[in-house]
Amino acid sequence: MFAASFPPAKLVIATRQSVLALWQAEHVRDRLRALYPSCRVDFLGLTTQGDRTVDQPLADIGGKGLFIKELEQAMADDRADLAVHSLKDVPMGMPQGFVLAAIMVREDPRDAFVSNAHRALADLPSGSVVGTSSLRREAQLRERYPRLRVEPLRGNVNTRLHRLDHGNHAAIILAAAGLKRLGFADRIAALLDPEDSLPAIGQGALALECRADREDVIAALEPLADVDTTLATAAERAFGHKLAASCRTPLAAYATWRGRELWLRGFIASRDGQRVLRGERSTVVADVGGATALGDALGTELLARGAAAILAEAL
């Protein structure tokens, strides 16, 4: 079917220009070059609205989807063939004409506690300032450690570490995956157990997006997909889609394998951590349809238990 165009002679990856985004694009480029030695792989570096606006919380300016719109426009204009995203930054509903062609094997999905003076959140003195860019982390921090001050922290990984090192915060919370990918694993004072800080939907996984009509690109990216990660994150994303939460709603979901069973945990809360709902379900999952059904069922359960009221408060 793809004899005339497969593998493609050239692929252009649209990418943000942060250090982490470039690492991710380079990782995908290297994998593609190994698969298709005759294929030329280039980058199209772009600056997104999410990158340009760093003085306001993401929830106030439109959410994480602001990191991908310009990349999608480049694909729509035929300036790029695919884009590499952190899956946690991809909205639950894909825009018409685009598809997530592959979800790659997941890095560590946990949150990381980073501090120069303390080894754990429990060690922080009352009133200590903890920085994070995530409403999900903020709500869980406020619920479990109400004595701490949580302040917004935007910018790339290097910028956030710089602010910590200059005394702006007693500690910061970042995704472990980004720190490990950039060689900053030694900055992690502690990895937060999902019981204490349930990860973001898709955290730690890379998603490869392309136009839905690019069958040649979809076929070229297929070998990069990891089945276990694809099914786990499909359940997480179905949970998020069912709740239809806005960027102003603290929301989390994390699915892990127990043999053939997929165990999904979900969380939704008010920003102040005063109203929290958690739930979990597990079932044997063999395909994306089964994973999606699992996420949908857990989302339906939380809606029946009062999630709708929490969602309404965020509007």
Catalytically active residues, by annotation: 89
- How far is the C-alpha of 171 from the C-alpha of 131, rounded, in Å? 6
Longest CA–CA separation in the chain, Å:
65
Torsion angle of the four alpha carbons 283, 284, 286, 287, in this order, in degrees rounded to the nearest 10: -10
Number of residues that this document lists for the chain:
315
Torsion over CA of 281, 136, 61 and 204, rounded to 10 degrees? -70
Q: Give the pairing type, strands 111-114 and 10-16.
A: unpaired
Q: Which residues have C-beta within 8 Å of that of residue 164, sequence separation ≥ 6?
A: 114, 115, 116, 131, 171, 172
CA distance 272 to 4: 56
The kind and range of the H/E element at 252 are: strand 251-258
Q: What angle do CA 180, 34, 108 make, to 5 degrees?
A: 20
